[in-house]
Amino acid sequence: MPLNKHEASVEDVQWSATEEDVGVYSVDRSNRLWDTRARPADACVHTVANAHDKDVNVLSWNKFDPLLVIGSDDAVLKVWSLKTIQYNEPVARFKHHKGPITSVEWNLSYSSCIRKIPKTFY
C-alpha cells in the first residue's frame, strides 16, 4: 500500500511498539501519523506541518508510553505525545545541540527519560 503524501524524501520510518499498525513517516519538516489499517486515502491520520524549521531526520517511539522523540537538521529535539498531538504542539522541546540531530533513542530502562514532562500530558 503506497503512502505518498510527503513532499520530499522520507528519512526515517519507525513503528510504534504500543500502537498496533500505526507508524510515523518523518520528512519535509512535518510529522505524519499513518494507520496502515485504513485504506490508503485515509491512512494519514494526523499531520503536524512545519514541525521543525529544517528537515526531520530521525524519530524514536517510547516503548512504555505513547511518546515519540524527533530530531532535525535544526538541532532541536521535540517530544510528542499521541494524546495531545492533535494540538500541534510538542510536550517538550530541547535546543542544546549545535548541529543536525541524526540519531535518537529512548533510555530502555525507564518509561520516560525526560522527567520534567508532567504525567498529565501523556
- 50 close to 29: Cβ distance less than 8 angstroms: yes
Name the residue with higher pLDDT: 107 or 110: 107
pLDDT over 80 at 1, yes or no: no
Provide the pLDDT for residue 76: 92
| CATH architecture, range 12-104 | Beta Barrel (2.40)
Q: Could you state, in order of their start, the residue ranges of all structural domains in the chain? A: 12-104
pTM, two decimal places: 0.76
- Residue 33 or 113, more confident: 33
Report the share of the chain in percent with pLDDT over 70: 73
Q: Which of 6-15, 34-43, 80-89 has the lowest mean pLDDT?
A: 6-15
12 three-state secondary structure: strand
Partnered with residue 77 across adjacent β-strands are: 71, 94
**How many beta carbons lie within 10 A of that of residue 85, not counting itself?**
21
Residue 120 confidence (pLDDT) above 90: no
Which residue would you say has higher pLDDT here, 57 or 8?
Answer: 57
User: How many other C-beta atoms are found inside a 10 Å radius of the C-beta of residue 103?
Assistant: 9
Non-local (6+) Cβ contacts of 77 within 8 A are: 69, 70, 71, 93, 94, 95, 96, 97, 101, 104
Averaged pLDDT for residues 89-113: 84
pLDDT at 35 > cutoff 80: yes
CA distance 94 to 88: 16
